[in-house]
Each structure stands twice: as C-alpha cells, then as structure tokens.
Structure 1
Amino acid sequence: MPTVDATVFLPLLCGMDRLLSEFHANDIAPGDLLRAVLEVALQGTPQPLVLAVSGGRDSMALLYAMARWAPSRVAAVATFDHATGDYATEAASLVAAQARRLGLTVVRERARTGGTSEAAWRDARWAFLRRVARGFRARVATAHTRDDQLETIVMRTLRGSGARGLAALAAPGDVLRPWLGVSRAELARWVEAESLPYLEDPMNASRAYLRGRVRHELLPAFEQAAPGFGEAMLALGERAAEWRRDVDRQLEGCGLSVNAAGTRLTVPARVLERTTDEGRAVLWPAICGRVGVTLDAHGTRNAVRFTMAGRRGAHIVLAGGATISRHRDARGEVFEVRRAPARHGLSARLTSGAAPTFAGAIDALPPRFGRWRFQRLGVEPLATDAWCMALPAGTPVVVRAWAPGDRIRTDGAPAGRRVTRYFSESRVSVLDRPTWPVLLANGEPVWIPGVCRGLAAPSRPGRPELIWYRCEREFD
C-alpha cells in the first residue's frame, strides 16, 4: 500500500474530526482520506482479513478499497444471502461477481430459511462470518460507519444499556471496523466519484424495525431539539469504550483461563471476593464477555449475589442457558463461566434423556461420544490410570450418558456406591455430569472415564485377550 503523507493524516491518531477538518481544508480527494483511514486501521492488524460484504454502498466501498490498496491482506470475501427476497439474492450475486473480477476469493452462503427479525438475521450472518474466519484463520472486517455507531448507541440507550453496552461498535473485540470513524456521506463521495457498483437495500428506508426508526425519525428530531446531540452521543460511546478497555486491562494477570474453544472460563474466586458488590457488578460482565456471554442487569445482579452466597458445587443459569458455577481445581476455589452449548446432534441427544448411544462389542467402541473420544490402545497403560480401561475381547457393552441413580462396585465399595460420590471426590462439576459417559457390561456400570473403574473391569496386565481403551474429553 502506498505511504500517505503523515503531516496531513497524523490527526487520525488523535480523532476523526480533526482528520476531516484537515481533509476539507486541504481539498484532498475522498480516496486519499479512505486510504489513510485504512492504512492506520491495518497497522495494528497482522492477521489476514475476511471482508463481510453485503452489496450495499458502505461494504462495497470496503471491498474496492481493500482490493485497491491492500489486496494481499484479504483472505476472502464473505457474503450472506438471508433468503428474504430478490434483493438479498441480487446483492449476494453482485458481491460474488465483483469480488471475483477483482481477483479475490469469495465464500457465499444462503440461509436455509428467511429470518423474521433483525436479531435472527444478525445471528445467522455472524455465525456464517465467524465460521469463514475460522476456516481462513483470519479476522472479520466489516464496513460499519460512524453513523452506524451513533444509531447503535441511541438504540442501546433506549434499551437501558449500561456502560459496557454504550461502547457499542467501538468496544474492544476481534472484529476490525476500519470505517468506524468515517461518515456515510464521506464514503458516498468516494463511491460516486469512482462510479462503484452497489445496491441500495430497501430496508434502509423502512421504519419497520427500530434501527430504521432511529435513523429516519428519532435522530433528526433529537438533533433539531438539541443541536450537537449526535456528537455528544458519539463522545459518550468513546468514553464507554475506553472504560471497557480499562476494565479489561484490570483483568489481565488475574488468573483467567479460557479453554481452546472459547466456550468456558475459570477465574480464581478471590478475584471477585476481594472487592465490593459494585466492583463485582463491573467485573462479572467483563469476565463473562471473554467467552461470549452477555450479562443483562438481571444476570449481573444474580452473579453478584452468587459470588458470596454460592457454595462449592452450586451454579446459576443465566439468560440464554449460560451458567456460572463454583468449584475447586488445582488452583483452589474458582468460578467457572460456560457459554450455552449448541443444542444439536449427539450433544443434544445426550442431554435430553435419549436412548443408549452405543450397544455392541468392546472391540468396536465409537470413536466419538458427544464431546468425548474413545481411542483403542496398542499397549497396556498404567493400571492406576482411570482414563483407561480394558475388557475381554467380544464383551458386549453399552455406552450412555450418566444417569442420577447410577451405582458402581469398586475395590473400595464392593457393595456398590453412587457415582455421584465419585464425581464429587474427582471434582467433576455438576454441569459436566449429565453428558459424562458411562460404560456398562452386563447391565452394570464398570467404567466412569477419569473417575473410577468397577470390579467388573479387569485391568490386570499380561492378558492378551484384553481390549484397552483410553477415553478423553475433546475441546478442553
């Protein structure tokens, strides 16, 4: 990308308003402004980018700007057809055709069913974008503008958002938004000057949804009643975003641990116990946000109360199915936050009380059991390793999820003992238990992987007819 004169565009680092003043005072072409904005946005972003392009003017400006000034940074162009009508299909076709003409990789997908709400469309679109980004090991870049930020701040204010929510699109995160300091009018000047193709979304003029009413009715009315309203709201959003960054910096070094999938987090209990309720009300939303869990006011209050009242092994359920629990691990007392699991496929069947998942010979255990993996071993492991077990070849077995009444006979309890006791001794969270696999032989539980082996599970070495397996959790 060509280097831009820093004496003209250095104000970008201090504020977009000053940059625009320099832009107009020096009568610089619209493309030079956008090139400067893009250059600064990319300086701190080493990852390749997946461009989210809808076919509208702002996103087509992003497509052409990246293709012209930073094509090597583009991993792919992603466009999503919401299946809401002719416009959605035509827009996706335009994006695909133009991106290919520019020599860029295109990923296009159509929704199976058309959504009926803004939230449903947004969720489907973002699920697609994040899937594409993972595939390319890239970061999503969107074309949100200064106007989008203002509308989002106002919408969140109307909904009673706190400081975290008012940061809106400027909140720290993994999405790059290079146009966030640029107005739609500035983008329009460049698009028209370059005669770039785009489609006008008919929903932009609609008042059917809140964003349209905010854009066309509320914001003009507020600005007329209180000139400077928009600038004041944008300043509020920037202060909220900086506040969020400060809170996130406070959490660094506090011992937060997030699993590889980004769905589960633990934090030492002392981090939350050694502050006030007001401090906990600030920390809990930031902690939950690390795994994509959004706390509303009610959820925040529940989390604050749970901090001091929750005993070890207790948990609370948040809106959307996420959970906060308290247990003990190698570091001591911890709180664990879990994002709600996806309710589909085998995992959904395991937690819905479905019939046994596998019934057959020990020689052919399934390689996958929900989020667990069975691996057949070629050598005998340590006899004390509860993650491993053996049975004679040909033994009929059943693998199913744990049931609350399960009992197992062990050396320490030959008459039988509830599996829940062993779960507690092994510090298995109550949230993990419903999907924990149990292997039965002759109708009797003989192996709870990682927890205990029963008397009916011979583990003596040197028996060639024994079939050895190791079972372990995936995605930890």
Structure 2
Amino acid sequence: MGANPASIDWSHHPGLAALERLAPRMSEAPVAVAFSGGADSTALLFAAWHLWPDRVAALHVNHGLQAAAADFERHVRTMCASLGVPLWVAHPPVPLTPGDSMEEMARNARYRALAELARQAGAGEVWLAQHLHDQAETLLLALTRGAGLPGLAGMPARQQRHGITFVRPWLDVSGAELRGWLREQGVAWVEDPSNHDQRHTRNRIRHRLLPVLEDAFPAYAQTFARSARHAAQAQALLQELAEADLAAVGSPPVIQRLQALSAARQANVLRHWLRQVGARQASEAQLQQVLRQIAACTTRGHRIHLRVGRGYLLRQGQVLSYWPDEAQLPKPDNL
C-alpha cells in the first residue's frame, strides 16, 4: 500500500467534502465501493474508509479478460486487508455473441456482478469513482457516436441498475487532483495497461484530444459537465412526455393514435416503448424508416415489417409489435 493509514493527511483530499454531503441521505447499511485497484477507486475507498471505517465494504469484479487481472485482484486483497475492509469478489463470465462489443458486454456483466455483490454485502448502494474528467470523456465519446440527449447527458450521479442504486459522488471532482493527493500520501494503486491502448476511442480522446482541449480551454471539464447536466434535465422532460404519450397511444402502440402525434413525439415515445420491450437501440436510419411507414399506414392492408435493433417491428392489426427473435415471427396470415 505504501502509506501508513495513520499518517495520511486528510485535510487536502479533494473528494472528501462531496462524500460528507452524502451523509444525511445515507442509511445504516454498509457503504459499498466498487474497487478496481486503480487510482480513482483507491481514492474513493480510502475516503469512505476514513469517514465510515466500520461500515465500508469493497466490491471487486475480475473478468479475467487480461493477463494483469490476477495481479489486480491480489493488490485489491492486500489493500483491503491492510485497511481492515471486508472485500467481496466476483469472477463473472462475459458472454459474447456475434456483433457484440466486448467492452459493452464486459461493462454490463460488471454492473450485474456489482449489484449481486452489494446484495451479498447487505448494501443498497454501490459507489463508483468516475470523476469530472471521466464525464468529459463520456460526453465527447457520445458526440463521436452521434448520440442523442441520453448520451449527451453523460453519466448520471445516481441510477438504478439490477435493483441497486449506483452513485457517482465525484462527477464534480478533478481526477488529476485525486491522483495528486494519492501521490502526496504515498498511496499505491495499479495501472490498467488497457487504459493506454489507443485502439479504443475513449483512450484516444483521453491521450490525444483532452490535452489539446485543456491547453485551449482550461475550464473545459467544468463547462462540459454543465452541458451534460442541461442535457440530463432536457432528457428527463422527454422521458416524462414519453411516459404520458405511451399511456395515451397504448402498449403495444395503436398506429392511429401514434399518427395523431408529431413526428418528434412519435420518435420519442417509440424509443421509450422499444426500451420497455427489451429492444436494442434503434439506429437513426431505422427509426426514420419506422416513422415513414407509420405515416404511410392509411389502409387496412398496409404491411409494416422492419428491422429495428436486432429484432423486428411488425404491424399486427391496428397495433405495432416487436419481436426480438426472427425464428418466432408470426406468419403473414397472422399479421
């Protein structure tokens, strides 16, 4: 670990005040920290341990996807033992099917594993160490992908996944300051070698683009975070509208009722409904084709049979239906 916990100077920890602000809303349940062994999660674990030494628990997920994974786990076990922090570890597989993104599937498996570990630890929340500069990277990554408001809203400070609340208390805290504090205190962490692999878009943003932005616009991270908050507020309003519109058009949606909405509201409510029925995100081209077909659906015999995400959107009588599996599609005479 390097530093003696008793000798650490907490007066300059850049993220401590943000954690202290969480105290009024905390229950008596354990404080669960997602602990990879990297710099950010190390700073978070130490801060939580300092504030609530008898309540903090560490959660570590080891997918075994890289050669250094076993070393990470050993470091995490040593660190937690030195602090007297109980550690919960999971080794979830990462199921892949053709066309899947390894990064996305590993992230989804990690969230499921963290939620299960939190339940085992008796915690209702998991704290994540993403910070101000991670949020800026996320926003830029969303822009490179042509994302809509959900992507431009960045990472939420709180979100529900798999029955557990995930909390990001440091979205306004500088990552550079967190690492600076760890160095000052002599606290060791592990560096994930994949963070320097510039085949990944996020890493190219981090190593090539962010230094240029910081040179030209020193406050870019703060202004990007503010833009993300504005986008999140706008997305919340769209979500409320989608819920109200879905209640009006029905689930599954009645085509004639959809046609009474503007194209923008049709797109908004259809995205919401498709998420509810488990569809993968429709591409912009797919959604525009759906809207064109809804507009053209003025006769009883008009057929709608479109690929959306990985499934199919069909007209069945007066409503739209979504079928995730091509093998289960109804026969034409049943549409």
TM-score of the superposed pair, with normalisation by structure 1:
0.53
Specify whether residues 66 and 232 from structure 1 end up closer, same or farther in structure 2 by C-alpha distance, changes over 3 A only: closer
Aligned length, in residue pairs: 308
1:99-248 matches, within 5 Å, as 99-101=80-82, 102-109=84-91, 111=93, 119-134=101-116, 136-137=118-119, 138-170=124-156, 173-174=159-160, 175-225=166-216, 228-248=219-239
2:32–2:56 contact (8 Å) kept in structure 1: yes
More helix by share: 2
2:33–2:58 contact (8 Å) kept in structure 1: yes
1:84 shift after superposition: 1.3
1:322–1:337 contact (8 Å) kept in structure 2: yes
Letter of the 2:39 partner, please give it. R
Sequence identity (%): 25
Q: Give the match for residue 382 of structure 1.
A: none
SS in 1 for 2:60: strand
2:18 aligned with 1:37: yes
2:90–2:117 contact (8 Å) kept in structure 1: no
1:267 shift after superposition: 5.4
Distance between the aligned counterparts of 2:194 and 2:85, measured in 1? 30
Specify whether residues 53 and 103 from structure 1 end up closer, same or farther in structure 2 by C-alpha distance, changes over 3 A only: closer
Q: Give the match for residue 96 of structure 1.
A: 77
Specify whether residues 191 and 225 from structure 1 end up closer, same or farther in structure 2 by C-alpha distance, changes over 3 A only: closer
Distance between the aligned counterparts of 1:266 and 1:245, measured in 2? 21
2:141–2:202 contact (8 Å) kept in structure 1: yes
Q: Give the match for residue 357 of structure 1.
A: none
Q: Give the match for residue 306 of structure 2.
A: 316
Q: Give the match for residue 285 of structure 1.
A: 271
1:45 shift after superposition: 6.8
1:50–1:78 contact (8 Å) kept in structure 2: no
Alignment RMSD (CA, Å): 4.2
1:106 shift after superposition: 0.8
More strand by share: 1
1:268 shift after superposition: 4.6
Q: Give the match for residue 66 of structure 1.
A: 48
5+ residue gaps, structure 2: 1-9, 161-165
Structure with more contact order per residue of length (Cα contacts < 8 Å, sep ≥ 6): 2
Specify whether residues 39 and 305 from structure 1 end up closer, same or farther in structure 2 by C-alpha distance, changes over 3 A only: farther
Deviations 1:58-78 (A, max 9, x none): 012222333333467767613
Greater mean deviation of Cα atoms: 281-290 or 121-130: 281-290
5+ residue gaps, structure 1: 1-27, 257-264, 342-350, 353-400, 405-419, 425-429, 431-476
Q: Which has the larger radius of gyration?
A: 1
Letter of the 2:307 partner, please give it. V
1:213 shift after superposition: 1.6
Q: Give the match for residue 55 of structure 1.
A: 37
Specify whether residues 49 and 274 from structure 1 end up closer, same or farther in structure 2 by C-alpha distance, changes over 3 A only: farther
1:96–1:108 contact (8 Å) kept in structure 2: no
Distance between the aligned counterparts of 1:285 and 1:39, measured in 2? 38
